[in-house]
Amino acid sequence: MIDVCDPCLRRSFLIAHLAPRIAGLLTRRRGRRVAGLLALPEDELLAAAAGRRIGEALAFLDSFDADSERERLDTSDAVVVCSHASLYPAPLRELDDPPAVLFGAGRVEALDLLGEEPAVAVVGTRRASPYGAEVAYSLGRGLGASGVPVVSGLALGIDATAHRGCLDGRGVPLAVLACGPDVAYPRRHRSLHERVRAAGIVLSELPPGTAPFLWAFPARNRIMAGLARMTVVVEAAQPSGSLITSDFARDLGRSVAAVPGRVTSRYAHGTNALLRDGAVPITGTEDVLDELFGVDLRRPPDEALRGPLPEDPVLREVLDAAEQSDSIDGIAERTGRGAGEIRAALGRLEVDGHLVRRALGGWERRA
């Protein structure tokens, strides 16, 4: 699906061409300044970023052939829409510097859905704690099952976990990358990248094949904030990229939410600071839905939060106890059953998909 006008395409390829120059320009300046730069008209952008390589950049623009590029872009699941196209997500236009073109890989229907349902960005640290990962997963899964598209950055930690949850809840994930949409970055997430393409869409303002640049991450964050009606920060240190996203969201007048964390954890400083400043506290999928649609207007389907309960009363009993206690002895005390019997029940519950086992022992309810 290609719907893009020549000037927009030209501008995107110019930015990709200048990407290494922009990187040099911004090495010492962090955060949002890049946004202002990307908003400049073409000639000022050239003046600001091309520097001594201006000749090269002009030659690039002279030789740029929109039609042949369009042809090259047209692969099976490629989606290319410019800001003048009808499919271009409307919420993104509210940005000061909306990306001229969105390059996508995946299902074009995911962009359609953005017109009907408000999306939620779930973002956070790359170094997620088990707690953060659990919350991100369950939010992703709950929102996905409730039909709310989940926007995230496919980064390690919270981002990827939220998307995994969304996929498990059969929702529509929208990933925004700081490189070409076809580039699986980080490489470890190649298979997740595949799954997101199959169920939703991977987006970027950079053309396919562009490598990731440091400056492109805050730039990508503005797109995430722009796409989402609401941004939920699950765990974030201070300062952090996730807080850049929430700043953009606040500037756009979108709602900003945060998951409370332990005050002693580094990765709760950012989120707790957001809460202090008036962000919406999130304790579960319900809180997000209440904020989006109004109190109790939409509920996540029960199935999404809880798989169907096991039939066997013993299994049910052990499942309940396992939720309250991490240890076999704790479960034994609550149920009055023997250790071997409990292990057998836990093994059964895991095979049937009610529990997941942590490495080296300990169980978690499949959220």
Partner 1 sequence: MLAAVSTFALEGIRSHEVTVEVDVRRGLPTFTLVGLPDRAVRESRERVRAALLNSELGFPQQRITVNLAPAHVRKAGPSFDLAIAVALLVATERVPAEALAGCALAGELSLSGEIRPIRGALAAALGARAAGYARLLVPAPNAPEAALVDGVAVSGVPSLARLADLLHGRWEPEPVEPALPAPVRDENVVDLADVRGQADAKRALEIAAAGGHNLLMVGPPGAGKTMLARRLPGILPPPTFEEALEITQLHSVAGIGSGRLASERPFRAPHHTISPQGLVGGGARPMPGEITLAHRGVLFLDELPEFSRMAVDALRQPLEEGRVEVMRGQRTLEFPANAIVVAACNRCPCARPADRCDCDPGQLSRYRRRLSGPLVDRIDLVCQVERVPAVELVGAARENPVSSAEVLARVVAARERQRERLRGTYALCNGDMDGRLTRRQVPLDGELAARLLAVRSRIDLSGRGHDRVLRVARTIADLDRRDSVAVRDLDEALAYRVDSWEALAA
Judged by CB under 8 A, how many residues of this single chain contact partner 1? 35
Nearest-approach distance from CB 16 to partner 1, in angstroms: 32
Residues 6+ positions from 42 with CB-CB distance below 8 Å: 10, 11, 14
Length of the chain: 367
Contacting partner 1 within 19-78 (CB under 8 A): none
Nearest-approach distance from CB 246 to partner 1, in angstroms: 21
CA pseudo-torsion sign 119, 227, 186, 70:
positive
CA distances for 297 relative to 139, 230, 285, 286, 303, angstroms: 18, 17, 13, 10, 18
Nearest-approach distance from CB 337 to partner 1, in angstroms: 10
Binding of residue 238 to partner 1 (CB under 8 A): no
**Nearer residue to partner 1 within complex by CB, 6 or 326:** 326
Nearest-approach distance from CB 367 to partner 1, in angstroms: 14
Token output for 205: 């303002």
Scanning 1-9, 203-211, 283-291, 320-328 for contacts with partner 1 by CB under 8 A, the matching segment is 320-328
| Contact with partner 1 (CB under 8 A) among 131, 195, 211, 273 | 131
Q: Give the closest residue to 226 by CA, choosing from 75, 84, 367, 35.
A: 35
Q: Where are the alpha helices (DSSP H) in 120-240?
A: 130-145, 158-168, 190-199, 216-227
Q: Where are the alpha helices (DSSP H) in 232-279?
A: 241-251, 266-276
Token output for 82: 């410019």
Binding of residue 211 to partner 1 (CB under 8 A): no
Scanning 13-21, 162-170, 298-306, 342-350 for contacts with partner 1 by CB under 8 A, the matching segment is 342-350
Contacting partner 1 within 239-258 (CB under 8 A): none
Nearest-approach distance from CB 140 to partner 1, in angstroms: 18
Q: Do the Cβ atoms of 300 and 285 come closer than 8 Å?
A: yes
Q: What character string, x for contact with partner 1 (CB under 8 A) and - otherwise, covers 156-175?
A: -x------------------
Nearest-approach distance from CB 188 to partner 1, in angstroms: 9
| Contact with partner 1 (CB under 8 A) among 127, 170, 190, 306 | 127
| Contact with partner 1 (CB under 8 A) among 265, 287, 299, 320 | 265
Binding of residue 321 to partner 1 (CB under 8 A): no
CA distances for 86 relative to 112, 136, 200, 201, 321, angstroms: 10, 32, 19, 17, 53
Binding of residue 343 to partner 1 (CB under 8 A): yes
**Nearer residue to partner 1 within complex by CB, 33 or 358:** 358
- For 85-118, give one letter per residue: b (16+ CB within 10 A) or e: bebbbebbeebebbbbbbbbbbbeebbebbeeeb
Nearest-approach distance from CB 348 to partner 1, in angstroms: 4
Binding of residue 313 to partner 1 (CB under 8 A): no
Binding of residue 344 to partner 1 (CB under 8 A): yes
Scanning 91-99, 127-135, 142-150, 242-250 for contacts with partner 1 by CB under 8 A, the matching segment is 127-135
**Do the bridges between strand 78-82 and strand 150-152 make them parallel or antiparallel, or are there none, so unpaired?**
unpaired
Nearest-approach distance from CB 183 to partner 1, in angstroms: 23
Q: Do the Cβ atoms of 271 and 258 come closer than 8 Å?
A: yes
| Contact with partner 1 (CB under 8 A) among 114, 128, 166, 228 | 128
